[in-house]
Chain A
Amino acid sequence: MLEVRKLACSRGDHRLFSELSFTLDSGQIMQVQGANGSGKTSLLRSLCGFLMPDEGEIIWRGENIRELDEEYYAEMMYLGHLNAIKDELSGLENLRISAGLSGVELTEKEAMDALRRMGLKGREMLPTKVLSQGQRRRVALARMLVNDAKLWILDEPLAALDVGAVALIQQLIAEHLARQGMVIFTTHQPLIVDGIDVLNLNLS
């Protein structure tokens, strides 16, 4: 499904990694490991098509993602360091807009349900500027509940979350894998998905 061939990336003069090759199939999950500055985020951003790699190519269903463009984007979801939510909008508005940008139109009820499952009951209508850091992250992560993307690319999904939320995210990932989804993620915290082997990719 997702195949990376001889990828090389650099930041300025500094070569982050080169000759990087791996494949990821349906139902598989991969953790990208490495010290700070080893290129974890750059790898994920290349997989999103933001960064043009110096060498190598990224193949999705047998075609280069640069050629697939929108077809590829319809099948993937990226959650980065940044929450992509607006302080002035409520959690509900934020979720409906971010889902809309990824091509999914949510009814108010669907969005409400997703936010409640993320533990934001009673706070759906508040402007997100009054929420805590962890709650804002939950609003961003609620997109995991309302999309049908096959490939999830998650950059530090567990940052700023409490124990309860971490358990919930692990459960969502397990459900996604059970639906034959695919996940690539980075984390500095342990992430355990029951009954599934996590593939490891070490960049250092």
Chain B
Amino acid sequence: MKKSTMFGLLMLVVRRDLILAMRRRADVLTTLIFFVMVVSLFPLGVGPEMAMLRKMAPGVLWVAALLSSMLSLGRLFSADYLDGTLEQMMLAPQSLSMLVLGKMAAHWVVSGFPLVLMAPVLGLQFDMTGEALVVLIIGLLLGTPILSMVGAIGAALTLGLRGGGVLLSLLVLPLCIPVLIFATGAVDAVTSGLNITAHLSLLGAFFVMALVFTPWVTAQALRISME
């Protein structure tokens, strides 16, 4: 028997959540299919005019990404809450924030990263240019982890409540507006030939801020919800 370190515990949580996600692949796939479907519905709703679609593409992709991450966030803590694992996590001899960070990371790998991989294909459907696609991907890479991290606060606060999923969206979506603005703004900037460093650095700053504060806030929220 060996004592585990803080990093060891973090990796344990990440590995565990990834194994669980692999064994429940359907959950991961439904989120991804939802994303693809929402994006594909927009041209049907607004018409197939390419110039307009090209202009709308980043916004459409981002709103769809926001919605599909809301879908998967409801499950972030609920299964562990129901079977008692969350109790054991709170009794771990390392800080709960670290375990929460592990769960956020696993959530992003499972539900955020597939969206990033899928986005270029969908971007082509909207006739986005090569450089616009690259900026979109960078924006998604920086932005989707923030959705997982900020969303975790909402998931922790709504733990075990009736109608938790809808409530979660109501709490989290307004908080994600800055990410939406700057990530889509970066794509707009590059298509109109402007500098994108300001947008991306701000997204990066949001990412760092979320990384520093959200695990601790989420841990507090979990303690409140477990009482």
Contacts and interface: CB of A to CB of B under 8 A. Distances in A.
Question: CB–CB under 8 A between A and B in the complex?
Answer: yes
Interface of A: 48-52, 70-71, 73-74, 76-78, 80-86, 88-89, 93, 97-98, 100-106, 110, 146, 148
Interface residues of B, number: 31
Contacts, number: 94
A100 B4 contact: yes
A74 B1 CA distance: 14
Interface string B1-40: 1111000110011001001100110000000000000000
A100 B227 contact: no
Contact of B3 (A49, A50, A104): A104
Contacts of A82: 82-84, 87
Top-8 shortest CB links A-B: A82-B84, A74-B93, A84-B84, A88-B23, A103-B93, A105-B2, A100-B12, A84-B85
Given A76-B91, A101-B9, A105-B3, A86 B227 contact: no
- Chain B interface main SS type: helix
Nearest to A74: B93
B40 to A, nearest CB: 31
B94 A70 contact: yes
29 contacts: A48-B90, A48-B91, A50-B90, A50-B223, A52-B227, A70-B92, A70-B94, A73-B91, A73-B93, A76-B91, A78-B91, A84-B84, A86-B79, A86-B83, A86-B85, A88-B23, A97-B12, A97-B16, A98-B85, A101-B12, A101-B85, A101-B92, A102-B88, A102-B91, A103-B94, A104-B1, A104-B2, A105-B2, A105-B8
Given A73-B92, A78-B87, A84-B88, 11 more contacts: A48-B87, A50-B227, A70-B92, A82-B82, A84-B84, A84-B87, A86-B83, A100-B9, A101-B88, A103-B92, A105-B1
B52 interface: no
B89 interface: yes
A156 to B, nearest CB: 13
